[in-house]
Structure formats: structure tokens, C-alpha cells
Amino acid sequence: MVRPVEYCVSLKPYTTLRAGGAAEQFVVARSADDMASISEYAHRHDLPVTYLGYGSNVLPSDDGVPGLTVLNRSSRIEIDRNGTVRAETGCSFQDLFLKSVQSGLRGLEFAVGIPGSLGGALVSNAGAYRSCVSEFLTELEIVLDGTRQTVSPSWMEFSYRNSILRRAKPPRCALLSVTMKLPKGDPKRSYDEAREYQRQRIGKQPPSPSAGSFFKNVNDSVLAESLETLPPALKVAGVVPAGYLIEQAGMKGYRFGGAMMGRRHANFVLNVKNATAAEIYHLAESVKKRVARRFGVCLEEEVLYLGDWSRVGRSHD
């Protein structure tokens, strides 16, 4: 293998929720080639493998993550004059925005304030302010079942905060790099737009460790129409924010151990006092039950659970 492997490495410092257990084996990839050779090695040795970007959308189990965890720090970004961007998936999504604007391109303003890697953004089709990462892709380089190859974006089956890699049993795939086509833009306008998004986030987002929105918003026009206090624009769109349902169910500020539902933003699970992953999980389950009882809706996690949850009774699908 290309890099030294460490054993029993705590994943807490590698997650924005600052919770969870240890990786059985841990290795850092510094380039797309590193990522490829590690994935090929894992496939040859039938080793379970978990890829980690900036850990801003995951909760590793307190009982740890079996097999090999690969911290993806491949970060090369190349941009040509025609607006073609080639980026390794370990680059920070915000860096990608900055470099694209410096090259006179636009489109990624929404990425400002999303504290993840490009790879993590692709897995959940990350987005904000009516844009998402899949809009600009033309090609992806992946390792699928041990074979390095290029695929078109349709292979990822992108939809709202979703892709093929979020399935209960996803394909064994490492995302290595992407090619994107971005339109030409005006840097001043892009910076102004990004600054405005940042300003809106600062007003809403709490400073405690979190993984951003814990649950996905609900697309259900019948439910939206039935909610008297839902803003008219959301009724028209048929979208019910998870935070609205959590607040209406009386769970804003609700606490379990060291974990708490946000007071400013009810859809944020906050680690306010050294919460264990199990405490975060149990808090999320209580919220789901309360919302289901009140509105008949099953909230779906945006955050991904990693590793072995059998002891807390969570099944993997």
C-alpha cells in the first residue's frame, strides 16, 4: 500500500460533530492516484473500506468503523480557459468556489458555508439556495469494484440530497476526481452573492459542533397545504422544512445527554457537552418518533451513520 496504515484511530477529530469511535485501520490519501491504489488494494484483500472527506455529514458509531477508513486529502484543482474544471475529490468545496471565481467562472457561490470536501458533496448532491453540485458535472473518475474508470454523471443517479452512493447497500466505489463545466462570470457579482449567502448562514447557524441539517426536508404537497402556518412560497413548492416539523412537534432545544436540538435552527443536532454517538442517535430517534406521531411523516436523515450500530439497535437500512 502507498501510505502507512495506523490502527484504532479515533474519528472524533475528523468529524464536525466531534463524536464517535475509532477506525479499525486508518490511512490518508494525498492524491487521486493514492485513492485509486488504496481502493484497488482494499478490493483485492476484500477489506471493507470507508472514505472520509471533512466528516461534516457523518456520525461514526461509538463502537467504531470496521476495516479501512481512508481520509481523502487529494486536493488538486486545474482550471482551463474554456471553463473546464478538473478537481480531485478531497479538495474543499469552498476552495473550489474560490479558485473558479479567480479564473473568471461562476456557479459555485452556493458552496460557501458548506464545510465539506467535493467527494462528500457528490455523495449527498450537496446544495443550497436552489443550486446543487451535480448541475455542473460532465464526468467522474471512480474506482468501482477495484477497477479505475470514467463514468458520466448519470451513473450517480443524483436527486435531492441523494445519489447511488447513499443506498442502503451502495456499490463499492471511491470517487477520485471530476470534470466540471462552469459558465463565465463576473468575480465581483460572485463574491457579493457568496457574501450574502454567508451572512444568511451566520444568522441561522449555531457555533456548537454539528453536521449541519440533520434531516432532509420533506417534499409533500398535501402535507404542505395542510399546515396553516407554513409560508405560502413553501406551500406552492410543496416543501416542508424538517426544522419546521421539529419545531412544531415541540422538539426545539430538546436534549438527550450531551446532544441537543438547535434553538436557532431546529434541524441542527448539536454536540453541546461531549455527546456520544449513541446519545446523538437516540436524540434523533426521539425527534423522528415525535414528528411521525404529530404529522404522520418519517423524517429521513441527511447525516450518514458509519460503522457498527448493532449494539444500539440500529439496522443498516
Ligand X SMILES: Cc1cc2nc3c(=O)[nH]c(=O)nc-3n(C[C@H](O)[C@H](O)[C@H](O)COP(=O)(O)OP(=O)(O)OC[C@H]3O[C@@H](n4cnc5c(N)ncnc54)[C@H](O)[C@@H]3O)c2cc1C
Is 114 among the residues that bind ligand X (CB under 6 A)? yes
Query: Hey, how many other C-beta atoms are within 10 angstroms of the C-beta on 310?
Result: 11
Task: Please return the burial class of 222, using the count of CB atoms within 10 Å of its CB with bins 0-12, 13-18 and 19+.
Answer: exposed
| Binding letters toward ligand X, positions 121-140, x by CB under 6 A | x-xx-xxx------------
Query: How near is the Cβ of 188 to ligand X at its closest, in Å?
Result: 23
Q: One of 39, 134, 213, 279 is an active-site residue; which one?
A: 213
| Binding letters toward ligand X, positions 39-78, x by CB under 6 A | -----------xxxxxxxxx-------------x------
Q: Give ∠ CA 103-105-110 in degrees, rounded to 5.
A: 120
Is 87 among the residues that bind ligand X (CB under 6 A)? no
Q: How many chain residues bind ligand X (CB under 6 A)?
A: 33
Query: How near is the Cβ of 205 to ligand X at its closest, in Å?
Result: 5
- Annotated catalytic residue 163: no
Q: Rounded to the nearest 10 degrees, how much is the dihedral formed by the CA atoms of 261, 263, 264, 268?
A: 0
Q: What H or E segment, with its residue span, contains residue 245?
A: helix 242-248
Q: Which amino acid is at 152?
A: S
Q: What H or E segment, with its residue span, contains residue 308?
A: none
Three-state SS for 2-34 is: CCCCEEEEECHHHCCCCCCCEEEEEEEECCHHH
- Annotated catalytic residue 161: yes
Residue nearer to ligand X on the CB measure, 57 or 248:
57
- Annotated catalytic residue 106: no
Which residues are catalytically annotated?
161, 213, 302
Q: Which residues bind ligand X (CB under 6 A)?
A: 16, 50-58, 72, 89, 93, 114-117, 119-121, 123-124, 126-128, 165, 174-175, 205, 210-212, 304
